[in-house]
Amino acid sequence: MQLRPRDYSGDDVRLLTASGLGILRGERVLFDAVSLEVAPGEAVVLRGANGAGKTTLLRVLAGLTRAETGEVSRTAPHHWVGHREGLKPHETPRAHLDLWARAWGAGADVDAILNEMGLSRPADVAARYLSAGQRRRTALARVLLDKRPVWLLDEPFTALDAEGRTRVLDMVAEHRQGGGAVVAAVHGEVGFIASREITL
Amino acid sequence: MSPAPILSAFRQALSEAWAGGAGALLPLGFFAGAAVLVPLGIGTEPGMLRTVGPGILWVSLALSSLVTLERIFQADVEDGALDLWLQTSAPVSAIAAAKTFAHWLTAGLPLALMSPVLALMFQAEAGANLLTSAMIYGLGGLAFFFWGGVGAALSATVRRGGLLIALIALPLYVPTAIFGSLAMSGAAGGDSAPLLLVASTLFALALAPFAMAAALRLAAD
């Protein structure tokens, strides 16, 4: 998978830049003065205890949550996979991917993606009957629908079995080789070599 | 701007409504139930039923529109779909409008289509005027659903937010209910009521999506 290296590669190119980010939750400072830069090929891992603000920081980077201080500059489009999969109970993995392929105007081969994610068998099963791991795979499969340089992943390995985990690691490796970057909030072992770790 | 995300949001909302099965029929049952119960309570004198019928139907329509509004955006918050819709290339207001319009098609349009039958129970004269009435109820219902959508967006993160939606939406229903009732009653000064009803519906269609978008951004924040 090549990500138009002319646009997104090079030492001085930053796909995502955040500076001085701070978030308040009530009267509690969740985090303060967090800065990061993400370049092509990099993987930034966010770490921290439960409630430290990893998800919130990812949401700020995605533009879903506004930070009290600081700013985010996005120079490339991103994919978002949050800890809630975005699947409707009646949606099948195939219908879900078809819907988002249409919404994004992506001419992706949904069958090939389902196969790549090990979802061919449950492709036409409603999400309410899927396991947590299958729903997770479906959500992660969205990043393969169209090529976007930045992947923002919240706990991407949650509920995945060993085989699913390997698939995701392969996807991340291929994405980085193609000039893409990943920012992931991860608990425990990461499984890929992170360019940087930020502990909140 | 590509219309693809808007069409996809519309399609997803339609399929979600159909997947809900009998849930989509709840407003219809509520509408019919309320309209059927009233004559049992106030008597069956034809003249009186003919007089109060349009008003009763408008009140029933307004309350029926609230029955399923709670889930329009709350489900998206709960399953994470809202985060995805907020990040498409389309304006959030257009996404919200598409979802609300789909909701009206599945839950609101059947109410308008059923209104002639209920009007007959209120001694309305059978004829072409019943179809005109259905169109007026449909138009008013559309405004109700869009104003209700604002309440639904504002209470998207509130569990059991139905009451909150009613508190927010019912005051916004007032102009539509007044112009709608006037248009049906044939009372003095009612000639311009259909036009005012159209204007109030257009006002709702123009304004409510932006209010919904602002509320949804807050819900995601």
User: What digits encode the pLDDT tens for the residues B133-191?
Assistant: 899 999 999 999 999 999 999 998 888 778 888 889 999 999 999 998 888 876 666 67
Q: Percent of chain B scored above 90 by pLDDT? A: 49
- Render pLDDT for B52-77 as a digit per residue (tens, 0 to 9): 888 888 999 999 988 888 888 999 99
- Render pLDDT for A100-122 as a digit per residue (tens, 0 to 9): 999 998 888 999 999 999 999 99
What residues of chain A, 59 to 118, have a C-beta less than 8 Å from chain B? 59, 62-66, 78, 80, 82-91, 95, 99-100, 102-105
Residues from chain B contacting residue A86 (CB–CB below 8 Å): 79-81, 83-84
Domains of chain A: 5-199 (3.40.50.300)
- Give the ranges where B80-192 is alpha helix by DSSP (H): 81-86, 92-103, 109-121, 128-154, 162-185
Interface test with A, best of B83, B85, B99 (most A CBs within 10 A): B83
Across the interface, do B87 and A87 touch by the CB < 8 Å criterion? no
- Render pLDDT for A41-94 as a digit per residue (tens, 0 to 9): 999 999 988 888 899 999 999 999 999 999 999 999 999 999 899 999 999 999
pLDDT reported for residue B101? 96
Shortest distance, CA B83 to any CA of chain A (angstroms) = 7
- Distance (Å) of CA A148 to CA A145, A174, A181, B179: 9, 13, 9, 50
| Among the partner residues A78, A84, A99, nearest to B12 by beta-carbon distance | A99
Across the interface, do A63 and B87 touch by the CB < 8 Å criterion? yes
pLDDT reported for residue A1? 41
pLDDT reported for residue B12? 93
CB of A128 within 8 Å of any CB in chain B? Answer: no
Interface test with B, best of A23, A55, A60, A64 (most B CBs within 10 A): A64
Q: Residue A44: CA atoms inside 13 Å, Cβ hemisphere, count?
A: 24
**When comparing pLDDT for B22 and A147, which is higher?**
A147
Residues from chain A contacting residue B2 (CB–CB below 8 Å): 105
What residues of chain B, 77 to 106, have a C-beta less than 8 Å from chain A? 78-81, 83-84, 86-88
Its sign, for the CA torsion A85, A90, A94, A99, is negative
CB of B11 within 8 Å of any CB in chain A? Answer: yes
Indicate the average pLDDT of chain B. Answer: 88
> Residue A7 — pLDDT band, cuts 50, 70, 90?
very low
Run of H or E residues at B13: helix B4-19
Q: What average pLDDT does the segment A13-25 reach?
A: 89
Across the interface, do B8 and A103 touch by the CB < 8 Å criterion? yes
- pLDDT reading at A127 higher than 60: yes
Give the residues across from A174 on adjacent strands. none
Burial group, residue B198, by CB count within 10 angstroms (0-12, 13-18, 19+): middle
pLDDT reported for residue A71? 92
**Quick count: other Cβ atoms within 10 Å of Cβ B9?**
27
CA dist B162 and B55 (Å) reads 23
Here the ipTM equals 0.89
Residues from chain A contacting residue B156 (CB–CB below 8 Å): none
Q: What average pLDDT does the segment B92-109 reach?
A: 94
pLDDT reported for residue A11? 54
CA dist A172 and A156 (Å) reads 11
Shortest distance, CA A188 to any CA of chain B (angstroms) = 24
Residues from chain B contacting residue A66 (CB–CB below 8 Å): 221
Supply B155's token pair: 């209470």
> Residue A150 — pLDDT band, cuts 50, 70, 90?
very high
**When comparing pLDDT for A8 and B180, which is higher?**
B180
pLDDT reported for residue B50? 84
Question: Please, are residues B103 and B17 in contact by the beta-carbon 8 Å criterion?
Answer: yes
Across the interface, do A80 and B84 touch by the CB < 8 Å criterion? yes
pLDDT reported for residue B160? 77
Interface test with B, best of A104, A125, A150 (most B CBs within 10 A): A104
pLDDT reported for residue A140? 96
Smallest CA–CA distance from B13 into chain A, residue: A88
Q: Percent of chain A scored above 70 by pLDDT? A: 94
Interface test with B, best of A25, A90, A155 (most B CBs within 10 A): A90
Indicate the average pLDDT of chain A. Answer: 88
